[in-house]
Amino acid sequence: LKDQFDNLDKHTQWGIDFLEKYAKFVKERIEIEQNYAKQLRNLVKKYCPKRSPKDEEPRFTSCIAFFNILNELNDYAGQREVVAEEMGHRVYGELMRYSHDLKTERKMHLQEGRKAQQYLDMCWKQMDNSKKKFERECREAEKAQQSYERLDNDTNATKADVEKAKQQLNLRTHMADENKNEYAAQLQNFNGEQHKHYYIVIPQIYKQLQEMDERRTIKLSECYKGFADSERKVIPIISKCLEGMILAAKSVDEHRDSQLVIDCFKSGFEPPGDFPFEDYSQNIYRTISDGTISTPKQEGMRNDSKTTVGKAKGKLWLFGKKPKPQSPPLTPTSLYTSSTPNGSQYPIFSIEPVHYCMSDIKTGKPRISSFRSLKRGGPALEDFSHLPPEQRRKKLQQRIDELNRELQKETDQKDALIKMKDVYEKNPQMGDPGSLQPKLTETMSNMDRLRMEIHKNEAWLSEVEGKVAARSDRRHSSDINHLVTQGRESPEGSYTDDANQEVRGPSQQHAHPNEFDDEFEDDDPLPAIGHCKAIYPFDGHNEGTLAMKEGEILYIIEEDKGDGWTRARRHNGEEGYVPTSYIDVTLEKNSKGA
């Protein structure tokens, strides 16, 4: 059993080393979990939306689903942190504490075994010393006996020598007997200690080492189980996270996203109308029937008109082509009749064909898209008139809702202050009622201000909604009129209910071809179709706009086409665009088709 003690020493040391090796494995696994959770959180943080409440974007279902997936992934990262924490507390920490206790216990058992072995060795040495001493005394006694026998048989020896040898023999024999007794006692003691050592002490120490090693094995088994339990505990939550990701994926609705895009970019503008038919053959009929205009002159006039049109096309203004004044209405005197072979008569307009080409340039509507691109650089207006009608309506509605919420807060605060004031008046010891008056006054002032803002924005909203409804009705009626009365259209393509308004006045009867010469930019101003009064002042910093003061009277030369801007002119002839919501417009009767 002595050699097995060293083997057990090595085995228990290997067991502790293996325990520490597994603890190191768990530590590295914990670091992996922590790094994984950290990287997942950084990934979620990187792709999470960073949007302020004021800058709300359309909440597409695909974006919402992605944000929900990020939230679920963040929760999943949290569960990985829980796994790492559970492993660190339940497995790694327990292993390190048990390893320390195991080392201490193993050291104690090995020390006890070494002490027992040292004590047995000491007993063996004492027994061996007594044995050697007994052996030595026995040899000395044998020598003394031989000397005595030799002197006793020698006749020449004296009696004194014989007596001395006899006494020496007795002494050595006595000492040999004493050493014999001591050796027997030591031998008996050693045998007893050796039996105790190998049958009681050492087996007990080995049993303790065995129990220690078995507890180490059990602890490893428990740690293996705890390692798996740490992962298994979070599986239900991780499954919920994955189910949340699947539900987020199923919540994506392509039709709803498309509707959001439509609502976001819906402008409220009407599509452009049909181009009118421009009858250039009327001049040919007039030449054939009248014969007053020679062919060379007509050709020269056409060449001059083409040159003028080319210059006009090269002349650009702020909104594309510069709007030109509309021609005054024709009168019956500007018409004459021509007979056909079957005897029927038809009206002939006294106007050059080139006028029809130039009338589109003169009466052309400014490009709304160009003006909007110009306004993007400027500051946003309070009434959102820089936005398309539909977007303006949405913004105004949002502002009205916010103002109503603020007004409700102020109302609740006023009610609370009034109640507190009543309490102070009934119980003066609780506070001074007069101290609440400034706050109450401020709250009432805020409520009045909010009501005014709400009223102003509701007026703008009603204006926008009225214009949208009017445009819808106008478009519906124009479609009907276009189907019913296609024959009564002016050359500019504008339809009028009164047939007398379709003819032109005398001023156009004497129109001269020199009207479209090189002085194209000096055309006559557009006729006024009404007047307006400025309700609010307008700075007009941007190019193409007209500054005005509150109460100023301006002429209206072009109505609002749905973009929130009206074209006006001062008495001195200065023209420009002003916000429709800043003015009070009064239109003249029958002026829309002028």
Residues 251, 130 share a domain: yes
Residues 157, 19 share a domain: yes
Residue 165 CB neighbours (<10 A) = 20
* Token output for 204: 């007990």
In a domain, 567, yes or no: yes
- In this predicted model, which residue has the larger pLDDT, 136 or 290? 136
Q: What is the CATH number of the domain that holds 217?
A: 1.20.1270.60
In this prediction, residues 259-282 reach a mean pLDDT of 79
The pLDDT value given to residue 395: 84
Residues 534, 454 share a domain: no
In a domain, 577, yes or no: yes
In this prediction, residues 291-302 reach a mean pLDDT of 43
**Could you report the per-residue pLDDT of 146-159, keeping only the tens digit for each?**
888 888 888 787 88
CA distance 40 to 80: 10
The pLDDT value given to residue 315: 40
The pLDDT value given to residue 145: 87
The pLDDT value given to residue 88: 93
Residues 450, 536 share a domain: no
In a domain, 93, yes or no: yes
pTM given for the model: 0.48
**Could you report the per-residue pLDDT of 527-561, keeping only the tens digit for each?**
888 889 999 888 887 888 899 988 899 999 988 88
Specify the range with the lowest mean pLDDT, choosing from 213-217, 384-388, 441-445. Answer: 384-388
Question: Which 8-state DSSP code applies to residue 338?
Answer: E
- In this predicted model, which residue has the larger pLDDT, 333 or 81? 81
In this prediction, residues 366-395 reach a mean pLDDT of 60
The pLDDT value given to residue 287: 53
Residues 464, 570 share a domain: no
Q: What is the CATH number of the domain that holds 550?
A: 2.30.30.40
In a domain, 300, yes or no: no
What phi and psi values does residue 547 have, to the nearest 5 degrees?
Answer: -75, 150
**Could you report the per-residue pLDDT of 171-195, keeping only the tens digit for each?**
988 898 898 999 999 999 999 998 9
In a domain, 345, yes or no: no
Residue found by looking up tokens 């379709």 in the block: 502
- Overall domain count for the chain: 3
**Could you report the per-residue pLDDT of 84-122, keeping only the tens digit for each?**
999 999 899 999 999 999 999 999 999 998 999 899 999
Range of the domain at 140: 4-260
In a domain, 305, yes or no: no
pLDDT at 289 over 90: no
Residues 80, 8 share a domain: yes
Which residues on neighbouring strands pair with residue 556, listed in sequence order?
Answer: 530, 568
What is the pLDDT confidence band of residue 379, given thresholds at 50, 70 and 90?
low
Which residues on neighbouring strands pair with residue 565, listed in sequence order?
Answer: 579
Q: What is the CATH number of the domain that holds 412?
A: 1.10.287
Residue 94 CB neighbours (<10 A) = 17
The pLDDT value given to residue 264: 80
pLDDT at 319 over 50: no
Q: How far is CA 159 from CA 39, 142, 150, 168, in A?
A: 114, 21, 13, 14
Count CA atoms within 13 Å of residue 210 on its CB side. 7
Residues 536, 450 share a domain: no
In a domain, 564, yes or no: yes
Residue found by looking up tokens 């071809």 in the block: 513
The pLDDT value given to residue 388: 77
Specify the range with the lowest mean pLDDT, choosing from 201-205, 321-325, 383-387. Answer: 321-325
What is the pLDDT confidence band of residue 475, given thresholds at 50, 70 and 90?
low
Whole-number mean pLDDT of the chain?
76
Residues 70, 208 share a domain: yes
The last residue of a domain, from among 436, 469, 502: 469
CA distance 329 to 594: 7
CA distance 460 to 383: 7
Residues 546, 401 share a domain: no
Name the strand (E) or helix (H) holding 577. strand 575-579
Residues 234, 144 share a domain: yes
pLDDT at 44 over 90: yes
Residues 534, 465 share a domain: no
The last residue of a domain, from among 196, 229, 260: 260
In a domain, 516, yes or no: no
Given a contact cutoff of 8 angstroms between Cβ atoms, the answer to whether 165 and 141 are in contact is: no
Residues 576, 461 share a domain: no
In this prediction, residues 42-70 reach a mean pLDDT of 80
The last residue of a domain, from among 451, 469, 487: 469
Of 358, 359, 352, 356, which is closest to residue 298 (Cα–Cα)?
352
pLDDT at 71 over 80: yes
CA distance 313 to 318: 14
Given a contact cutoff of 8 angstroms between Cβ atoms, the answer to whether 432 and 441 are in contact is: no
Q: Which bin fits 273, alpha (ψ -120 to 50), beta or left (φ > 0)? A: beta
In this prediction, residues 124-131 reach a mean pLDDT of 91
pLDDT at 386 over 90: no
CA distance 335 to 181: 170
The pLDDT value given to residue 65: 92
What is the pLDDT confidence band of residue 296, given thresholds at 50, 70 and 90?
very low
Residue percentage of the chain with pLDDT more than 90: 31
The pLDDT value given to residue 474: 54
